[in-house]
Amino acid sequence: MNFFLDGLREAWQLILDHDPYLMHLVWVTLKVAAVSTTLAVLIGLPIGLTLGLGRFRGRGPLMAFANAGLALPPVIVGLVLALLMFPAAPLGRFHLLFTLRGVYIAQTLLAIPVIIALTAAAVASLPGGLLAQARAYGASRVQLGGLALREAWIGILAAVIAAAGSALSEVGAVVLVGGNIEGVDQTLASAALAKVDAGHFAEGLAIGILLLGLILVVMGLLTAMQQFGAARRMGASS
C-alpha cells in the first residue's frame, strides 16, 4: 500500500510540475484523437447516412458488415497496416511506418466503422413517416440526408463520442504502426504501457491519471453538446 501511495504522490508531483514529457504526450494524444475522429466523420458519415436511408438490395448484409466493424480488433488492424507499410510492401513508398501519419491512418480506420454503424442505426431508427413524407414532397437525396442528419443529430453525436473515446484510449494499433516512439508518435495510452513494462510505475500512474482526466474532459464536452442539442429539440417541439 505504501508503495502505491508513494507512486501516486510522485505521479501528482510530475503533473503539478507540468513535466514536458507528459505535456507532449497530452498534445500528441489530442492531435491523434482530433485528426482521426474528424477524418472518420468525413468518410463515415455519408456512408452511414446512405445505409440508414437506403432502400436498395444488399442493404441488410452491408448493415451487418458495418456492425461487425464495431468489434474490429485494433491489434489486427495495426498488424495488417504495419505489414502493408514495410519498405518493400505496397504502402512502403509513402514512409508511413513508425510515423504520426501512420498512427492517424490506423486510428481513422478503427473509427470509421464506429461512425458508419452508429450513424446508420440512428438514421434507421427515425420515424418512418417523417422520411416517407419528405420523399412524397419530392425531397432530393441531399435534402433527405440533411433532414436525417438534423433529426438523428443526438445519435450521430453519440457515434462521434464513441469514435473519439476509442482514439484517446487505443494502444495496440499505435504500438504496431507507430512503434510507440517517445517524442514522435507516443500517446498517453501507449506511453503508460511502456512505462509499466519498464518498471517506472510513478510515471505510469501520472500518465494514467492524465489520460483518465483527458477522457473525462473530452467526453464531458461532447456529452454536454449532445444534451444541449436534445434540450433545444425538446424546447422546439413543446
Q: Which residue has the higher pLDDT, 91 or 141?
A: 91
Contact 173, 102 (CB under 8 A): no
Helix and strand numbers, DSSP H then E, in the chain: 11, 0
DSSP-assigned letters across all residues of 160-201: HHHHHHHHHH--HHIIIIITT-TTTT--HHHHHHHHHHTT-H
CA dihedral 29, 34, 39, 45 (to 10 degrees): 120
The predicted-structure confidence for 158-215, as pLDDT tens digits, reads as follows: 999 999 999 999 999 989 999 999 989 999 999 999 988 888 887 888 888 889 889 9
Distances (CA, A) of 125 to 19, 25, 54, 130, 161: 47, 39, 13, 11, 19
Q: Quick one: average pLDDT of 101-114?
A: 95
Residue 107 pLDDT greater than 90, yes or no: yes
pLDDT of residue 238: 55
Provide the pLDDT confidence category of residue 228 given band limits of 50, 70 and 90.
confident
Give residue 155's identity as a one-letter amino acid code: G
Provide the pLDDT confidence category of residue 233 given band limits of 50, 70 and 90.
low
Which phi and psi angles does 98 have, rounded to 5°?
A: 60, 40
Provide the pLDDT confidence category of residue 232 given band limits of 50, 70 and 90.
low
Q: What is the grid cell recorded at 151?
A: 433529426
Contact 214, 26 (CB under 8 A): yes
Task: Reply yes or no on domain 27-232 having CATH 1.10.1660.10.
Answer: no
Q: What is the share, in percent, of the chain residues with pLDDT greater than 90? A: 47
Q: Which helix (H) or strand (E) holds 59?
A: helix 59-68
Q: 8-17, 210-219, 229-238: lowest mean pLDDT where?
A: 229-238
Secondary structure of residue 44 in the 3-state scheme: helix
The predicted-structure confidence for 94-106, as pLDDT tens digits, reads as follows: 999 999 999 999 9
Q: What is the DSSP letter of 125?
A: T
Q: What is the grid cell recorded at 180?
A: 510507440
Q: Quick one: average pLDDT of 206-235?
A: 82
Q: How many CB atoms lie within 10 A of CB 231?
A: 10
Q: What is the share, in percent, of the chain residues with pLDDT greater than 70? A: 92
pLDDT of residue 237: 57
CA distance 97 to 86: 7
CA distance 117 to 36: 17
Residue 235 pLDDT greater than 70, yes or no: no
